[in-house]
Amino acid sequence: MIYTIQNIASLIKGEAVIINDVQIEHLLFDSRKIYTPQSSLFFAIVGARRNGHQFIDEVYKKGVRSFVVSHEVDVKKFPEANFIKVDDSLQALQTLGIEHRKNFNIPVIGITGSNGKTIVKEWLYQLLHQDYNIVRSPKSFNSQIGVPLSVWQMNEQHTLGIFEAGISKPGEMDKLEKIIQPTIGVLTNIGEAHSEGFNSLAQKEKEKRLLFRNAAIPDSVVINSINKEQTSTAISAIYKSFGYTIIIPFNDDASIQNAITCWQVMLHLGYDNKVIAERMKSLTPVNMRLELKKGINNCSIINDSYSADISSLKLL
């Protein structure tokens, strides 16, 4: 898809001051991450701790010439810039994500849950990329900002989408569902993580399941046995009256649960279990927090660094 500033202004219903109707390829909200300024559109998002309008001058000096704003800006200070004025820059970003998603009629897997979203997404990529050209959330981009940025990556070459959705309070999933529009829904689990904004786990689950209101939910596998070895686990289960077995190269409980989730999705997609079982053997770890690594002198190192959707860290 090709978008110009004029196209985007029309889609998000903004008031535009257009100097040069350039094509837009990249969407920005972080002044520190500018790679192709001439084809980038900067959204000045107002957050709890940061106001994106404060960075317009800096972004302009770095070469960006297209902006979406919700506050008044002295356009004379930026003579080469295009401005689109809206009521809410974040809402405009989400609206653009919704409109872009409408152009694609491909299977899209929407993943939510308290834990395991990123690992399930990455493992599904490992298991399915031989058969699909996959677009997926980068790292842990699953917030109100991260989801539209993820969906914006979709193009005509993709044949499958896999996107995460994370929420911290009621009302947020309704917006994310409209952006992702998943055709297949995956709920990893419901736990206590990120529960501060909810009255109960029941309310939290109800909100998360809004992601699946127009999506198919894979049938469950009924686990018969889980046999852990030193470096692997054999899992046997019943799916639609048939018995199947897979072996994964992990033996921790979280990996077993995540592998079962991926198993359900692949069976839902119609894969023969022989293919699934063969690919499950080749799953590799996903670099996440609390990763245990070997150090020198018989020491172990716990890597607790984390690279995620910046907005989920509440830096705005």
Domain map of the chain by residue range? 3-97, 104-212, 222-280
What per-residue confidence (pLDDT) applies to 198?
Answer: 74
**How much is the pLDDT for 286?**
93
Mean pLDDT, rounded, of the chain:
90
Considering the domain 104-212 in this protein, what is its CATH number? Answer: 3.40.1190.10
Of 52-61, 93-102, 302-311, minimum mean pLDDT range: 302-311
What pLDDT, in 10s, does the model give residues 132-180? 999 999 988 999 999 999 999 999 999 999 999 999 889 999 999 999 9
Res 45 pLDDT > 60: yes
Q: CA 66, CA 18: separation in Å to the nearest integer?
A: 9
> What is the spatial distance between Cα 237 and Cα 235, in angstroms, rounded to a whole number?
7
More confident residue, 113 or 48: 113
The token duo for 295 is 């150090």
Least confident of 99-113, 176-190, 296-310: 296-310
Domains 3-97 and 104-212 share a fold: no
- Has domain 3-97 been given CATH number 3.40.1390.10? yes
- Per residue in 251-297, pLDDT (tens digit) is 999 999 999 999 999 999 999 999 999 999 999 999 865 444 556 55
192 vs 218, residue with greater confidence: 218
Q: Which tens digit of pLDDT belongs to each residue from 12-42?
A: 999 999 999 999 999 999 999 999 999 999 9
> Per mean pLDDT, which range of 92-101, 121-130, 171-180, 201-210 is the poorest?
201-210
**CA 238, CA 85: separation in Å to the nearest integer?**
56
- Model pLDDT, residue 201: 79
